[in-house]
Structure 1
Amino acid sequence: MTKLQWAVIAGALALFLVLYLGCDRKPEDIASLETSRALSVESTDINLVIQEAKAVLEPAQRSMISGLEQDLESSLEDSIRVGLYKELSGEWYQLQRFSIAGHYAQQVAEVENNEGAWSIAGTTYSICTQRTTEERIKSFCSKRAIQAFENAISLNPENLANRVNLALTYTNNPPEDNPMKGVLMLRELNQEQPDNVLVLNALGRLSIRTGQFENAVKRLEAALKADSQNVTTICLLAQAYEGAGNAEQANAFAEQCRQLRQ
């Protein structure tokens, strides 16, 4: 069960790209990012969030979480603690408490300090920003998602998925002083790799969200040319053509989308 739950979170990286779908070429190194984290001021105390969440759990759920917490408190070895962090992250993910799931995924990443773990932490926090309606939680998750993706990028700058996800985090939660930051990141990535399907899908989705349907069709048709069987591209084209008023194409792509998802 534990391995399955953690696999769900690991798979969330792909899920995030599918559902929502750049950045500085080389962010600061890990030491600088850790210093930035220590100096940043957060409006949300994760321990308080955990206590609030536990208060509304069913008795069996609360017992499960409390048992894992007790095991964690009594464990000294990193390998055991990492396993418990993963279990707690998986349990909270299943309960759709994504801020807490992200917190424990971050604990894993801080011990393992590899690209994959930081990507999972960033993705879990990003899902939190999409699903929550509470501003203090959204802000908390957005800040930590950015930090996690920057850490992942610093460990492997060539992995485009982390760069796209960082840009998307900014587009979903635009900074007040630079609301176009995420869009500009994606455009920069598109200039660097004009035929990259991941980037084109992200730009296409953003165009759909802003009602620029003709532009979305253009981006997504370019993505389809690069990968004719990409499910995300095909499903997005159904939405783009529908918004553009082309019912025939919208229906054709919608049918392809249904068939590919079966």
Structure 2
Amino acid sequence: MKKSQLIIAIIGIAAVIALYSLPKIVVDNEESIEGLSEGQSSNAPATVEMHEAELSPEQAQSRDENQRKLAEATSPEEKVASATDLGAMYRELGKFDSAAYYLGVAAEADQTLSNLEKAGEAYYEAFTFALDADKVAYLAEQTRNYLNQVLVEDPARLDLKTKVAMTYVSTSNPMQGITMLREILAEDPQNEEALFNMGILSMQSGQYKRATERFEELIKYHPNNLQGQFYLGVSYFEANQKNKAKAQFEEVQKMTEDPMILGSIQGYLDQL
């Protein structure tokens, strides 16, 4: 399977794009790690340019006004309000790294669990879209910085632990992330995000039979997970289980009207 097929298939799944640029690892063998890049580091540049965006005159005016308010703010509440507005504007523009930066500013101004979580979630969103290795490492580090602070106070947040786990997959020690995902599934065998990510990681390492098992578990508990349904079909296809692949793709066709997904499915069906 070409990586481009997977990326084009569901372009909205940014995490998949990032995952397919990661080192290939064996996710279901405790003793085996393949294809790691020598000297890969999670260290990021001390400064990362995060503020460039093409703005309309109205947006530029709003940015300038909120930046002025942020610079002149004398209370945490004022800083949070201005930084949050800037983050929302950049997120709407699809500038997720800039959005994360400003939500980080808000979290540093007022370190409530809510603000820390918002910053961590924003950095994770930016992480899933990033392709440059240094930027991926920096955004992953920032995600862990904020979400781990929430997890210290609320360790039951498996949704946040899953995101932290996925950031480790991009480091020189990816098995740390795999181990965390296994721990999540040991605690909650039906965890939707952990099952999905373990399936994707199995695909990324070429373990398509294991991927089918993960996605079968996923859709058993979460039948409306369109991504899982689609990737189950892809996994069947790559595992040479053609009859199952055909039936699965036909099932996914009934679940969506998205022309990109349907076009990708038809491409697979034409090969069966």
TM-score, L = length of structure 1: 0.72
Distance, in Å, in 1 between the alignment partners of 2:195 and 2:233 is 15
Contact 1:16 1:123 in 2 (8 A): no
Match of 1:123 in 2: 121
1:80-120 CA distance string (max 9 Å, x none): 33222111111222333322211111223334534443333
Structure 1 residues 74 and 18, CA gap change in structure 2 (3 angstroms): same
1:195-249 CA distance string (max 9 Å, x none): 4333222211111122211001111212223333333432331222222223443
Structure 1 residues 242 and 20, CA gap change in structure 2 (3 angstroms): farther
User: For 1:180, what is the secondary structure of its paired residue?
Assistant: helix
Distance, in Å, in 2 between the alignment partners of 1:179 and 1:18 is 16
Match of 2:222 among 218, 227, 235: 227
Match of 2:94 in 1: 96
Match of 2:247 in 1: 252
Contact 1:242 1:250 in 2 (8 A): yes
After the TM superposition, which parts of structure 1 deviate over 6 Å for at least 4 consecutive aligned residues?
15-21
Deviation of 1:42 (Å):
5.6
Q: Which moved more, 1:92-101 or 1:58-67?
A: 58-67
Contact 1:114 1:152 in 2 (8 A): no
Distance, in Å, in 2 between the alignment partners of 1:153 and 1:90 is 24
Structure 1 residues 59 and 230, CA gap change in structure 2 (3 angstroms): closer
Which runs of structure 2 are paired with 1:78-93 in the superposition (5 Å)? Answer: 78-93=76-91
Contact 2:215 2:231 in 1 (8 A): yes
Of all paired residues, the percent bearing the same amino acid is: 23
Q: What 5-or-longer segments of structure 2 have no aligned partner? A: 1-12, 20-42, 258-272
Match of 2:63 in 1: 65
Match of 1:10 in 2: none
1:144-184 CA distance string (max 9 Å, x none): 0111121121121101100111001111x12x2x2321112
Deviation of 1:254 (Å):
3.3
Which protein is richer in helix relative to its size? 1
CA RMSD of aligned residues (A): 3.0
Contact 2:17 2:128 in 1 (8 A): no
Contact 2:76 2:110 in 1 (8 A): no
Match of 2:40 in 1: none
Structure 1 residues 147 and 70, CA gap change in structure 2 (3 angstroms): same
TM-score, L = length of structure 2: 0.69
Distance, in Å, in 2 between the alignment partners of 1:99 and 1:260 is 32
1:218 maps onto 2:213 in alignment: yes
Match of 2:146 in 1: 148
Which runs of structure 2 are paired with 1:110-189 in the superposition (5 Å)? Answer: 110-171=108-169, 173-174=170-171, 176=172, 178-189=173-184
1:1-39 CA distance string (max 9 Å, x none): xxxxxxxxxxxxxx8789889xxxxxxxxxxxxxxxxxx
Match of 2:107 among 101, 109, 116: 109
Q: Partner amino acid for 1:104?
A: Y
Contact 1:125 1:144 in 2 (8 A): yes
Structure 1 residues 258 and 155, CA gap change in structure 2 (3 angstroms): farther
